[in-house]
Amino acid sequence: MNNDQELKLQAFLDGELPARERPAVADWLAADAEARALQQEWALTRSALAGGEPPRPLPESREFYWSKIQREILRGEKAGARAAARRAVPWWRRLLVPTAGLAVLTLGLSVALNYWPPGRQPHVVETALADSGAFTYRDLKEGITLVWLSYPADSGLADDAGADIIE
């Protein structure tokens, strides 16, 4: 006896088999000794278990549970469709947001570092090299920068400028 036959026999014993299939299963029980033996075993098991646990009626109908299962299936299908839509975003759009954020951050940092509050005194910037011979003056209020280059850097050569020219 295969699994499908056992399921039909169980449905017959539980009264769940459709009316059009009941005569066929009853004829099969009359002809098959193994099926009758299994039916008797299940009937004895059912009678032994009948007194052990009271039947629990379902608070909701069978349709309620099937509709709940159907809703979960539909919810899963919608979630799968949303995930597929997220995967369909082009690669350049996925890179656009971080790149734009980095550009805004860079621009903001650049503006913050170059900002000079109005009303402050201009400052003088000099090079760290003592022998460069360059001096820089910046006036932000007037918007000018002056760079003074003294050539040659060595003051000793500047005094002898016309003496000897090395070619």
What does residue 111 show for φ and ψ, rounded to 5 degrees?
Answer: -65, -40
Helices assigned H by DSSP within 15-125: 22-31, 33-50, 62-87, 91-114
Q: What is the pLDDT of residues 77-87, one digit of tens each?
A: 888 777 776 66
pTM: 0.31
Give the pLDDT confidence of 46-66 residue by residue, as tens digits.
888 777 767 677 677 778 888
Burial class (CB in 10 A: 0-12, 13-18, 19+), 62: exposed
Answer for the pair 3, 37: CB distance below 8 angstroms, yes or no: no
Question: pLDDT-derived band of residue 117, with 50, 70 and 90 as boundaries?
Answer: low
145 in Cβ contact with 137 (< 8 Å):
yes
Q: Which residue has the tokens 């299939």?
A: 21
| Buried b or exposed e, range 114-123, using 16+ CB within 10 angstroms | eeeeeeeeee
Token reading at 99: 């790149």
